[in-house]
Amino acid sequence: MSISLLFSILLYMSLPVPTWYLLVVSLPTSGATARMRVWRALKALGCMALRDGAYLLPAHADHERALQELADECTAEGGNAWLMSVQPRSAEEADAYRQLFDRSDDYAELRKSWKEANRGLAGLAAPELARMQRRLQREFDAVRAIDFFPGEASLEAEAAWTEFGNRIAELLSPGEPQPGSGHVRRLDAADYRGRTWATRRRPWIDRVASAWLIRRYIDPEAHFRWLVQPSDCPKTALGFDFDGGTFTHVGNRVTFETLMASFGLEGHAALRRLAEIVHTLDVGGEPMAEARGLEAVLSGAHVRLSDDNALLDEMCTVLDSLLAHFERESGRRKRNPKGTER
């Protein structure tokens, strides 16, 4: 090994691990579109401007890749870009860098928007509430994604969002059950035929899907009662999806999943796919295209149909079709495990 190469290696090893990245960019004055695109990308990453054209970001592998892509884009547009790793020279300077990324004002703006939205919640229909909740959730997630040094403001915002979300959930599904503990006991569907099943009126996803599951797999002769409040449930009826009901949330299971476990339906692959959608729409989870579609259809049915029996009949047809789609997909995977089917 040459002396010069050894010296280079030792010099590299002596360099401190970078704690910040600095991107300096310059674009032609004619590139207004490219300039706006780059600025939006820098903002989405959470960069802070030290001055015009100089942007700081905490050191992270993902940040380095993203900034390098922006640097390459600037160069391709005829501009110049330099990506550097930088170190603060003192504890005071390091603290000054971190202060640049204080998101307290962003959280304050979010909380202000939640407070204003809260005043009009009671006057919104279920579809409008759901859309507003998704929009505000995206805004909150965007701020949290670039809050690299979370502090008291983030904790306060989290508590405020939880309270706001609970208010929306109560309006969307009054009397939503709390998760219970305990073991789900295996039952025989033959003992549950020709019964009256009761749940809260204006059924949302877990209730309407559970009623469909009862009708299709447990009690084809089921009669449904739609309750103004859970306390109206007749003693002879099988209550579901409310606290104290015969079938409700247990642990991480929503009512639909509890019914599946109770009556031995968890081995049904297509039903499990449907259960994932119901779980996501009822208590949250990984978003999926089918979930958004089913939510949109149910929202529209709520607007069109005031009779809950008619609502159930329509959604049964929708869920039948969705199940058939999943069954076909499952069948294709079984016939073609290597994915060669055209």
Q: Does the pLDDT of residue 5 top 80, yes or no?
A: no
Q: How far apart are CA 10 and CA 322, in angstroms?
A: 63
Determine, yes or no, domain membership for 201.
Answer: yes
74/128 same-domain check:
no
Structure confidence at residue 176 (pLDDT): 64
What are phi and psi for residue 78, nearest 5 degrees?
90, 10
The model's pTM: 0.55
Q: Are 57 and 46 a contacting pair, CB within 8 Å? A: yes
Over residues 48-52, the mean pLDDT reads: 90
198/275 same-domain check:
yes
Over residues 156-170, the mean pLDDT reads: 84
Determine, yes or no, domain membership for 8.
Answer: no
Over residues 98-126, the mean pLDDT reads: 90
Q: Are 13 and 5 a contacting pair, CB within 8 Å? A: no
Determine, yes or no, domain membership for 319.
Answer: yes
147/164 same-domain check:
yes
CA atoms within 13 A on the CB side of 230: 17
Structure confidence at residue 126 (pLDDT): 75
Structure confidence by residue, pLDDT tens digits, 169-217: 777 766 666 666 667 899 999 999 999 999 999 999 999 999 999 999 9
Q: Is 13 exposed, middle or buried (0-12, 13-18, 19+ CB in 10 A)?
A: exposed
The percentage of residues in the chain with a pLDDT greater than 70, rounded to a whole number, is 88
At 88 the three-state DSSP class reads coil
CATH of the domain at 88: 3.30.70.240
Lowest mean pLDDT among 92-96, 173-177, 238-242, 320-324: 173-177
CA 148 to centroid of chain Cα atoms: 20
Which domain does 149 fall in, by range? 104-172
- Which amino acid belongs to residue 266? E
Q: What is the DSSP letter of 217?
A: I
Determine, yes or no, domain membership for 5.
Answer: no
User: Nearest-CA neighbor of 217 among 265, 270, 184, 278?
Assistant: 265
Determine, yes or no, domain membership for 220.
Answer: yes
Q: Does the pLDDT of residue 3 top 80, yes or no?
A: no
65/198 same-domain check:
no
160/113 same-domain check:
yes
Q: How far apart are CA 254 and CA 269, in angstroms?
A: 17
Q: Does the pLDDT of residue 161 top 80, yes or no?
A: yes
Structure confidence at residue 174 (pLDDT): 64
92/131 same-domain check:
no
Structure confidence at residue 12 (pLDDT): 39
205/257 same-domain check:
yes
84/117 same-domain check:
no
Over residues 266-274, the mean pLDDT reads: 94
130/142 same-domain check:
yes
**How many domains does the structure of the chain reveal?**
3
214/330 same-domain check:
yes
User: Nearest-CA neighbor of 224 among 316, 320, 103, 342?
Assistant: 316
Q: Does the pLDDT of residue 156 top 50, yes or no?
A: yes
Q: Does the pLDDT of residue 21 top 50, yes or no?
A: yes
Helical segments of the chain, H only? 3-14, 32-45, 61-76, 91-100, 104-119, 126-145, 152-172, 205-213, 255-262, 269-283, 289-304, 308-335
User: Nearest-CA neighbor of 168 among 202, 206, 127?
Assistant: 127
